[in-house]
Each structure stands twice: as C-alpha cells, then as structure tokens.
C-alpha cells in the first residue's frame, strides 16, 4: 500500500534564492531561517529539493534542525529530474505532486 503525504514541500534551490510557487526565500542565513520557520509553521515534516551544485548544502543544514531533527529531507539528483516528461520550469521543479513512503 502506498502512503501519500498530506503535507510536503518541494524546493528548487538556486545560487541566490529558493523558489516556490507561493514563496521565495533568499539564500542568506536570515532568509533560510525564515524558510525553516515557514516550513515549521505549516507543520511540514517532509521536504524534497533538487541538488544544484553545492547550493543545496546550506539549505539542508538549516532545515535539518527543523522540528528538533524530526524532519525528512530528500535531496534529488538534478540530472535525473530533467528526464521527467514535460517542459522543465522552476515552478514545476518545486512542486511535489505525490510523495510515496517507500518503507
């Protein structure tokens, strides 16, 4: 049986900002802390992000402390994401349509 998450977040990480359809956060520490607070305020314990160069590392570092470490962060390979059918856009990259629990 496949479990679908009710609350999850998809991030598209760039050098200067993290893009999302609803919200954009800069990559400075104060802004990443605001991203963490935003994710916590939405009770989102599951985050997926595309790994672009090394830009995902500080985002990951800040988010892994969310909910006192009770968060699941999935970092995907950007090359694999480009093989998904359809036109690639930053908004599509940041959307998570369905996330399945493979446990």
Q: What domains appear along the chain, each with residue ranges and CATH number?
A: 9-94 (3.30.420)
| Number of neighbours of residue 23 by Cβ within 10 angstroms | 13
| Per-residue pLDDT at 55 | 87
Question: Stretch 36-61: mean pLDDT, rounded?
Answer: 90
Q: What is the pTM of this model?
A: 0.72
pLDDT of residue 15: 76
- State the pLDDT at residue 22: 66
Question: What is the Cα–Cα distance from 90 to 18, expressed in whole angstroms?
Answer: 10
Whether the Cβ atoms of residue 82 and residue 44 lie closer than 8 Å to each other: no
Judged against a pLDDT cut of 70, whether residue 19 lies above it is answered with no
pLDDT at 48 over 70: yes
52 three-state secondary structure: coil
pLDDT of 73? 95
In this predicted structure, the answer to whether residue 30 has a pLDDT above a threshold of 50 is yes
Distance CA 31, CA 25 (A): 6
Residue 98's pLDDT band, with cuts at 50, 70 and 90, is very low
State the Cα–Cα distance between residues 81 and 63, nearest whole angstrom. Answer: 22
Calpha distance 34→4 (Å, rounded): 27
């Amino acid at each position: 049986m496949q479990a679908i998450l009710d609350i999850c977040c998809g991030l598209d990480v760039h050098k200067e900002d993290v893009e999302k359809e609803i919200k954009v956060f800069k990559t400075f520490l104060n802004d990443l802390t605001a991203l963490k607070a935003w994710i916590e305020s939405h009770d989102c314990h599951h985050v997926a992000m595309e790994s672009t160069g090394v830009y995902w590392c500080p985002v990951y570092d800040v988010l892994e402390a969310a909910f006192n470490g009770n968060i699941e962060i999935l970092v995907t390979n950007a090359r694999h994401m480009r093989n998904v059918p359809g036109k690639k856009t930053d908004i599509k990259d940041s959307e998570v349509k369905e996330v399945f629990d493979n446990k």
